[in-house]
Amino acid sequence: MNFPTRSQRADSHKPLGGRYKVIRRLGEGGFGQTFLAEDLHLPGRPICVVKRLKTQFSGPQSLQTARRLFDTEAKVLYKLGEHDQIPRLLAHFEDNQEFYLAQEYIEGEPLAAALESGQPWPEAQVIDLLRDLLQVLSFVHRQNVIHRDIKPDNVICRRDGKIVLIDFGAVKQVSTQFFNSKPGRTNLTIAIGTHGYMPNEQMGGKPLFGSDVYAVGMIGIQGLTSVYPTRLKQDPRTSEIEWRGQAPQASPELADILDHMVRYDFRDRYPSAAEALRALRSLTTAAPPPSLPFNLTFSAGGFVGRSPVQSGFSRQSGVARPRIADLGTIRRIQNRIRLVLGGLADLGAMRKLPNRIRLVLGGLAVLVGLVLLVRPYSSPQLVSQPAAVDSPSDPSPAAADLLSQADSLREAEQPEAALNLYDQAIVSAPDSAVAHWGRCYSLNQLQRPDEAIAACDQALTLDPNNPSALSSKGYALNQEHRYPEALDLFNRAIDLDPDNAEAWSNRGASLLLLDRPAEAIESFDRAINLQSDQAEAWSNRGAALWSLRRFDEAIASIDRAIELQPNYPEALRLRQQIREKLGR
């Protein structure tokens, strides 16, 4: 099938799919063409990107097979587009037996332009880039998708400072399978990727999750050395990349991680982005604890958040508030009530008492048990996230005791020890939503969001309307920069528990990260009305006010955060930045 020339397309003036008016061609490669286009069906004719897939068919049956494959791959792209740092797929359609994808247009510059300065990047900047890339890639791998073509040209530095991963290999996979469907080509393997960023197994047409990890590692090495990957030497005996001598400023710890990412043999590499990200986080174990608010930097548009507040990890005052006891405690109280009532019934003296008195005493025992089901919660250092209490199954006494001990360790901010006990409890009671939620919570405290998401998902499978699990998963999503998804979970948690001050506060954080400061302020105000001593809510409210250029209100809000928590480093740093900018 021959593509029309640019002049032929310009003369036709026919919108693609009857909807997309081509403005200009952005690029062309072996797998198709990309155009900048206007969407004529939407108000204001917004700009989008339309990709035409290069296809070859041998007959009607081949075309029908191609349609099915195209629909299947498009569904994958729709799912990937749910991430804030992956372009949304707006539509997929067929026009004159040609296949098209309409995607969100991302304004920004390719990472390649930033790497072409000729100057090595500072290590901290490279670590930030690697972390950002691996967080997005972890989401991709969880969808069971391999990108296949990660390179600087396919990473866009968006205007808000975030990176966006584009040009997924799923599109190229469609084209290669179309080609392979031709007679005589059924055994043809077409490698998808770019030389220098593509490891050995991918060159052979057998990409793995670790192949994407290799590409990210090569980008990190390029940042540290300012040397294009194909210009780096290889050890002639092992085929390993020799790069350390060109990056003397790199720490041995980061260099070891990068070497592990780009091993020649995929079996020696990190098997997935999540594993590589976990190793990278080990470099920053002294990073701020989960409850810290934004680390803010000044930009032309105001202050831009760089790390979200943890959902449910907001510190609070020492005022006691009721908290429903965990299942282990409930189980023990129930047993004690049974013993008390049984003892009363067995006493010969009790049997001689009038029935009315015996009923009163029994009722008092039950009342005491019910009162004990609610216990005070009063440490200023502990997490204020409400506990999950419902589980489809009642755990054994041994599992209940493990849960009780794990909860105590979690509340005492000993997440590693708590996690170990939650794991043990799950072995005994795999259907305990409480155990899976506690595991999610502890993983969040350890800043391991990928595992936390999986644990929260398990809790929500067992108890779909658990506001604590929804909120904890929201935090983990925020850590991966998946702000729209996190916002949706905070909204659902608030619908279930409208008086959850911490959920309102973290909802505001997500809104601010989505550049919706006015809505964020409303959410922070609601949080403060429910619980006026949330230092995080006051501080982040100040950041939102600053972005709206309400400077005096911003300073007042941040000052209130410092008044509540005098040694609050983020609020102190933010106030200093604002005053320096205003010359005060």
What is the C-alpha to C-alpha distance for residues 441 and 476, in angstroms, rounded to an integer?
9
Cα 457 to Cα 576: distance, rounded to the nearest angstrom: 40
Contact assessment for residue 48 and residue 66, using Cβ atoms and an 8 Å cutoff: no
d(CA 375, CA 332): 14
Q: What's the one-letter identity of residue 193?
A: G
The torsion of the CA quartet 114, 166, 481, 461, rounded to 10 degrees, works out to: -160
Between CA 139 and CA 144 the distance in angstroms is 9
The tokens describing 308, both together, are 């979200």
Q: How far apart are the first and last CA of the chain?
A: 67
Q: How far is CA 359 from the centre of its chain?
A: 55
- Partners of 374 in the β-ladder: 324
Structure tokens at 445: 């405290």
CA distance 290 to 127: 19
The catalytically annotated residue of 132, 149, 450, 463 is: 149
Q: How many CB atoms lie within 10 A of CB 566?
A: 10
Buried/exposed code over 533-552 (b: 16+ C-beta within 10 A; e: otherwise): bbbbbbbbbbbbbbbeebbe
Contact of 524 with 541, CB cutoff 8 Å: yes
d(CA 12, CA 570): 58
Residues 6+ apart with CB under 8 A from 393: 429, 431, 432
What DSSP character marks residue 396?
-
DSSP state of 93: E
Is 132 among the catalytic positions?
A: no
179-185 long-range contacts, CB within 8 A, separation 24+: 179/56, 181/57, 181/58, 181/62, 181/65, 181/66, 182/56, 182/58, 182/62, 183/58
Distance CA 248, CA 205 (A): 35
Task: State how far the Cα of 57 lies from the Cα of 462, in Å rounded to an integer.
Answer: 47
Mapping DSSP to helix (H, G, I), strand (E, B) and coil, where does residue 325 land? coil
How far apart are alpha carbons 581 and 303 in whole angstroms?
11
| Active centre residues (catalytic) | 149
